[in-house]
Amino acid sequence: MHNLTAIPLISTSNRTWTHHWSGGWLPKTAFFPDSLLLSHQPLALLVTGAFPIAEFNTPSPTLTHPMPNHQGHLLLIGSSEMFKNEYLYAPGFQHEQFLLNAVAYLTHGPQFADLQARRKIAPGFPYLPPDQKILWRILVVGLAPLVFILY
């Protein structure tokens, strides 16, 4: 109809389930679903295309195509839970980086989003196989006492 495309950015696991909640505490049976598995469900979508314009001048709002037909982007995030402090600063999660990258993409385009996504990485040692690690450990720890004994 409006030629919109939705690209899932984040989705659930394949063990997603549903429960008809009617208020109160969830019953224990709700945590052991049998046939209510839904597979992967999107949690964040990037919708692109020509969005209709809402006109609110009339008593009943109508949706029409914009003229000219410009491409737009809309980011839909299904839950604000990942932006709460307890998860925002949890080690191993980068929800703040996701939000910064999304804002950079929506405001400045993919080139700036690629630049924004770059993060400083602490310099480290390259990967060494375990046998080389043992050899280096023996050299580093044992070389000083060996020199001391021989001297």
pLDDT for 45: 92
What would the two tokens of residue 108 be? 């400045």
Higher-scoring residue by pLDDT: 36, 139: 139
Domain-wise residue ranges, the chain: 5-150
Q: What CA–CA distance (Å, rounded) separates 151 from 143?
A: 12
Q: What is the pLDDT of residues 93-146, one digit of tens each?
A: 777 788 888 888 888 888 887 787 776 666 677 788 889 999 999 988 988 888
Mean of per-residue pLDDT scores for the chain:
79
pLDDT for 33: 67
Could you give the percent of the chain with pLDDT greater than 70?
81
Predicted confidence (pLDDT) at residue 66 exceeds the cutoff of 60 = no
Of 25-29, 86-90, 120-124, the least confident: 120-124
pLDDT confidence bin for 61, thresholds 50/70/90? low
Mean pLDDT of 59-67: 60
Q: What CA–CA distance (Å, rounded) separates 92 from 119?
A: 14
Q: What is the DSSP string of 33-93?
A: -SS-B----EEEEEEEE-PPEEE-SSSS-EEE--SS---EEEEEES-SGGGSHHHHT-TT-
pLDDT for 134: 92
In contact, 142 and 126? CB cutoff 8 Å:
no
Tell me the whole-structure pTM to 2 decimals: 0.56
